[in-house]
Amino acid sequence: MSDASPDPALFDKIVNLTKRRGFVFPSAEIYGGFRSTYDYGPVGVLMLRNVKDAWWRSMVQLRHDVVGLDAAILSPPAVWEASGHFANFTDPLVDCRNCKERFRLDKLDDPHTCPNCGEKDSFTEARQFNLMFKTHAGPVEGKGHEVFLRPETAQGIFLNFANVLQTSRKKPPFGIAQVGKSFRNEITPGNFVFRTREFEQMEMEYFVPPAEAAEWYQYWRQERFRWYLDLGIPESMLRLRDHEADELSHYSSGTADVEFLFPWGWDELEGIANRSDFDLSAHAEASGEKLDYFDPTTGERYRPHVIEPAAGATRTMMAFLMAAYDEEEVRGETRVVLRLHPRLAPYKVAVLPLSKKPELTGPALELLGQLQGRFMCDYDETQNIGKRYRRQDELGTPLCVTFDFDSVEDGAVTVRDRDSMEQERVPIDGLVDHLAARLDL
Ligand code: ATP
């Protein structure tokens, strides 16, 4: 357990930096913005993709027992009837009679005081509010044409269980992983991209023989916790919190959250749940399909139990940014640097000609072309070199390659390290391998 304390000032620093440097923009800003909806800019789209790729690498690429899936976002009501989302995917909503603001009762610090106007006992009775977005398919509206935007990616996995089993040659224990957008009509979105109505999830359903469920649950708890540490979140900002018995859903025999120390305190990044055979049984019963596994070697038929690690990509990207943010004094000035793991950094390398003169920009662009085949690179020829290094520090670029007047003569460039700021002269011949070894992607 960590004894670190939250840093409230970090919140504004991250919101400002991400706007200023092109990570995240408020959506529809030229029309005054669209509350709690965000667009990912030129740098943000790279980093978000890197977060998802790092997850995919660890969950699919480096394993023999997990396959991928990309299921539809639109789905018919039958799915959500069977999954229990119509009945249970609700939050308790209260209105303040005084200021008319709405709140999620279970997220209020004090259920008797309105956090907006401060009025005491001004809340209405709580009513259950379903979080799913509803729309209609085709030209006719109304009953029979309703469709839903998925509020989680998991159900698409359960619906394809039999398809994947038949086509992939996997047998339990095996998993199906999916990354994609989910939509929830959150009552109180907020804290920047922490809680939004449109967000990205990274979920995996791991199907196991029932007797092995407890063991695999422990395995995935540890495995998922380690993923965040491996990508550079310090242990002091991360904890694994087991749910109390009264927090567990009725079908779950164990749930743990990976929590991060956000500027407002500990909050969830990911949930790992032992879901028993709840989902497959619900869909088997409602659809009439056999969602079982038949083991031809033993002749045994059973319904697998499921361990689900469910993470948020957009929320996790913010946590990686917060964990990486650092300020230090360098020659009387504050240097802001994102000490991002190279795998997460939007750009791995920035190519910087020392001057805008064509004798430097020509060969620098040629060098850029050589490096781009291997790494996501930035190129910048504006301002003095010191300012350009600082800009790359704020983007988290691990290595800068500077092409100067000597480079024309000696065929070497200066490689500058983001974290130590140390510079090294490296021959252009062999530069790609040199950079690859240092980045260790
Ligand atoms: P919460 O209790 O915060 O509403 P949850 O426990 O319902 O979240 P899950 O359904 O377990 O969340 O979703 C898995 C992950 O998806 C969460 O850990 C989080 O990272 C992400 N997530 C869920 N809702 C949102 C949202 N509204 N905005 C951004 N990310 C979200």
pLDDT tens-place string over residues 327-353: 999 999 999 999 999 999 999 999 999
CATH code for the domain in which residue 359 is found: 3.40.50.800
256 strand-pairing partners: 242, 272
- pLDDT at residue 142 is higher than 80: no
**Residue whose pair of structure tokens reads 């959500």 in the numeric block:** 80
Asked if residue 340 belongs to a domain, the reply is: no
- pLDDT at residue 25 is higher than 70: yes
Asked if residue 239 belongs to a domain, the reply is: yes
Q: 292-326: string of b/e by CB count within 10 Å (b at 16+)?
A: bbeeeeeeeeebbbbbbbbbbbbbbbbbbbbbbbe
Contact 351, 374 (CB under 8 A): no
Instruction: Specify the range with the lowest mean pLDDT, choosing from 84-88, 173-177, 244-248, 376-380.
Output: 244-248
Domain total in the chain: 3
Asked if residue 231 belongs to a domain, the reply is: yes
Contact 207, 158 (CB under 8 A): no
DSSP codes of every residue in 114-170: -TTT--BS-BPPPEEEE---EEE-SS--STTSEEEE-S-SHHHHHHTHHHHHHHH--
Would you state the structure tokens that stand for residue 273, as one six-digit string? Answer: 């749940």
Among residues 226, 232, 174, the alpha carbon closest in space to that of 204 is found at 174
CATH code for the domain in which residue 19 is found: 3.30.930.10
Q: Verify whether ligand 1 is closer than 6 Å to residue 186 (CB atom).
A: yes
Residue 232 half-sphere exposure toward CB, CA atoms < 13 A: 20
Q: Verify whether ligand 1 is closer than 6 Å to residue 271 (CB atom).
A: yes
Ligand 1 centroid, distance to 312 Cα (angstroms): 6
Ligand 1 centroid, distance to 269 Cα (angstroms): 8
Ligand 1 pocket test: which of 201, 220, 252, 274 has the largest number of ligand atoms within 8 Å of its C-beta?
201
418 with 353, same domain? yes
DSSP codes of every residue in 240-267: EEEPPGGGS-TT-SEEEEEEEEETTEEE
Q: Whose CA is nearest to atom 4 of ligand 1?
A: 195
Instruction: Give, rounded to a whole angstrom, the gap between the first and last alpha carbons of the chain.
Output: 30
- pLDDT at residue 438 is higher than 50: yes
114 with 48, same domain? no
Instruction: Compute φ and ψ for 300, nearest 5 degrees.
Output: -90, 140
Q: Whose CA is nearest to atom 29 of ligand 1?
A: 195
For residue 70, the model assigns a pLDDT of: 98
Q: Whose CA is nearest to atom 11 of ligand 1?
A: 271
Q: Long-range contacts made by residues 21-24, C-beta under 8 angstroms, separation at least 24?
A: 21/391, 21/394, 21/395, 23/47, 23/321, 23/346, 24/192, 24/193
pLDDT digit string (tens) for 237-250?
A: 999 999 998 888 87
113 with 51, same domain? no
Asked if residue 405 belongs to a domain, the reply is: yes
Ligand 1 centroid, distance to 44 Cα (angstroms): 20
Ligand 1 centroid, distance to 304 Cα (angstroms): 25
Ligand 1 pocket test: which of 27, 268, 275 has the largest number of ligand atoms within 8 Å of its C-beta?
268
How would residue 3 be classed by pLDDT, with cut points 50, 70 and 90?
Answer: low
Q: Verify whether ligand 1 is closer than 6 Å to residue 309 (CB atom).
A: no
149 strand-pairing partners: 74
Write the CB contacts of 164 (distance below 8 Å, at least 6 apart in sequence): 67, 69, 170, 176
**Ligand 1 atom nearest to 201, measured from its CA:** 16
How would residue 36 be classed by pLDDT, with cut points 50, 70 and 90?
Answer: confident
Ligand 1 centroid, distance to 416 Cα (angstroms): 39
How would residue 145 be classed by pLDDT, with cut points 50, 70 and 90?
Answer: confident
150 with 237, same domain? yes
Asked if residue 328 belongs to a domain, the reply is: no
- pLDDT at residue 2 is higher than 60: no
Torsion from C-alpha of 155, 156, 158, 164, nearest 10 degrees: -170
For residue 344, the model assigns a pLDDT of: 98
Ligand 1 centroid, distance to 309 Cα (angstroms): 12
Asked if residue 2 belongs to a domain, the reply is: no
97 with 177, same domain? no
81 with 110, same domain? no
- Mean pLDDT of the 35-58 span: 97
Among residues 174, 151, 147, the alpha carbon closest in space to that of 161 is found at 174
Ligand 1 centroid, distance to 310 Cα (angstroms): 8
- pLDDT at residue 1 is higher than 70: no
Q: Whose CA is nearest to atom 27 of ligand 1?
A: 195
75 with 209, same domain? yes
pLDDT digit string (tens) for 263-288?
A: 999 999 999 999 999 999 999 999 99
357 with 300, same domain? no
Contact 152, 183 (CB under 8 A): no
Ligand 1 centroid, distance to 293 Cα (angstroms): 30
- Mean pLDDT of the 93-110 span: 93
47 with 179, same domain? yes
Residue-range definition of the domain harbouring residue 373: 347-439
Ligand 1 centroid, distance to 199 Cα (angstroms): 9
Asked if residue 388 belongs to a domain, the reply is: yes
Beta-strand runs (E) in 263-385: 265-274, 293-295, 300-302, 305-312, 325-330, 333-338, 349-353, 377-379
Ligand 1 centroid, distance to 130 Cα (angstroms): 15
Other beta carbons within 10 angstroms of residue 268's beta carbon come to: 16
142 strand-pairing partners: none
237 with 317, same domain? yes
95 with 32, same domain? no
Ligand 1 centroid, distance to 259 Cα (angstroms): 12
Asked if residue 341 belongs to a domain, the reply is: no
Q: Verify whether ligand 1 is closer than 6 Å to residue 152 (CB atom).
A: yes
Among residues 260, 255, 259, the alpha carbon closest in space to that of 245 is found at 255
81 with 180, same domain? yes
Q: Whose CA is nearest to atom 21 of ligand 1?
A: 312
Among residues 180, 220, 183, the alpha carbon closest in space to that of 309 is found at 220
Task: Report percent pLDDT > 70 for the chain.
Answer: 99
**Ligand 1 atom nearest to 203, measured from its CA:** 14
Q: Whose CA is nearest to atom 18 of ligand 1?
A: 270
**Ligand 1 atom nearest to 151, measured from its CA:** 10
Q: Verify whether ligand 1 is closer than 6 Å to residue 201 (CB atom).
A: yes
Contact 60, 353 (CB under 8 A): no
Q: Verify whether ligand 1 is closer than 6 Å to residue 199 (CB atom).
A: yes
Among residues 367, 373, 357, 356, the alpha carbon closest in space to that of 400 is found at 367
Would you state the structure tokens that stand for residue 186, as one six-digit string? Answer: 């959150």
Q: Verify whether ligand 1 is closer than 6 Å to residue 268 (CB atom).
A: yes
